Amino acid sequence: MRVAIVGVTGLVGTVMCQVLEERKFPITDFLPVASPRSVGKDITFNGKTYKIIGMQDAIDQKPDIAIFSAGGGTSKEWAPKFAAVGTTVIDNSSAWRMDNYKKLVVPEINAPELSTSDKIIANPNCSTIQMVLALLPIHRKFGIERLVISTYQSVSGTGVAAVKQMEDERNGVDGEKVYPHVIDKNCLPHGGDFGADGYTTEEVKLVTETRKILGDDSIQITATVVRVPVVGGHSESVNIETKTPFELETIIADLKATPGIIVQDDPANNIYPMPLHAHNRDEVFVGRIRRDTSRPNALNMWIVSDNLRKGAATNAVQIAEYLVENALVGANIVSS
């Protein structure tokens, strides 16, 4: 199994390598790929040292799988070139998510939709992944009418430069600024770029991607994205209005039975999800589950997950695992 990691030196690329090692993904040939300024540098994976290579070199070696985390522009340019030589691309950018001909996959929800013809597969936005996993059992049993979402997103979701900005601010260093304001000891109601309607690109992703993954364009959704001074882990307050009446106990039981979810909901003992405890974990943590007493058929939930793991790297690796386990990749294996 020949696997390329495109954007291997980035924040998500580094975690992807870590997750591949931890989960003992079956790799026979590892191809670390990065921008020209990193080509030729050494990188360690599974105890071995590899030279970072460029895009065309990787394509020429026809990997079975290429996991991209290198930005939308790079994905738009290079993913089709990998696909053209038979590689299955799993892309972590926003480039292909809303393409009508590309699958947007959270393995626990819709991996069975994948086939050998899917050569470019989109990995959803980090905030969307953790939320839809928690929404899945509710939507299947009661239907979702409307969602009101507020996110509290880690600076790591913006990238390594944003983490550096916050660390500089904490240490009194006047360094590079990624955000338009100070982020340390502050909250910025600003995720992505603002549109003419006043919503940001991160807020629009929550709307469009949720509908696509759950397969229901009728769900009414509104969102507010906030960036908070946390290094790892996104948190979300989600108000859910269902189409049919529900019992809260049933929803809690269904959440507990959903693979990948851990319910932490014991407020009397101060037990609820927090990014501090979700950091470096692959699960989605759900708590503060309670009825919305202002509306019939409505409830509130607090959802937390590590945005670099389940929100990005782990979800992508889980897609790759599904492809391998179901013999949807492997045509390009080359004997050495």
Residue 33: which residues within 8 A CB-CB, separation 6 or more? 4, 5, 6, 7, 8, 52, 53, 54, 55, 57, 58, 66
Report how far residue 148's alpha carbon sits from residue 223's, in angstroms, rounded to the nearest whole number. 6
Residue 332 buriedness (CB in 10 A; 0-12 / 13-18 / 19+):
middle
How far out from the chain centre does Cα 230 lie? 17
Q: Which of 17, 139, 181, 234 is catalytic?
A: 234
Give the HSE-up count for residue 35: Cα atoms under 13 Å, Cβ half-sphere: 9
Own/partner pairs, 322-326, CB within 8 angstroms, 24+ separation: 322/107, 322/111, 322/114, 323/65, 323/88, 323/114, 324/1, 324/25, 324/26, 326/114
Report how far residue 256's alpha carbon sits from residue 319's, in angstroms, rounded to the nearest whole number. 22
Q: Which residue has the tokens 């009825």?
A: 291
Q: Which of 17, 126, 139, 279 is catalytic?
A: 126
Q: Of 320, 317, 336, 326, which Cα lies nearest the Cα of 64? A: 320
Report how far residue 323's alpha carbon sits from residue 107's, in angstroms, rounded to the nearest whole number. 10
Torsion of CA 100, 103, 109, 110, to 10 degrees: 100
Identify whether 234 is a catalytic site residue: yes
Q: List for the chain the helix, strand, coil content (%; round to 5).
A: 35, 25, 40
How far out from the chain centre does Cα 185 lie? 25
Q: Which residue has the tokens 């994976």?
A: 45
What residues are annotated to the active site? 126, 234
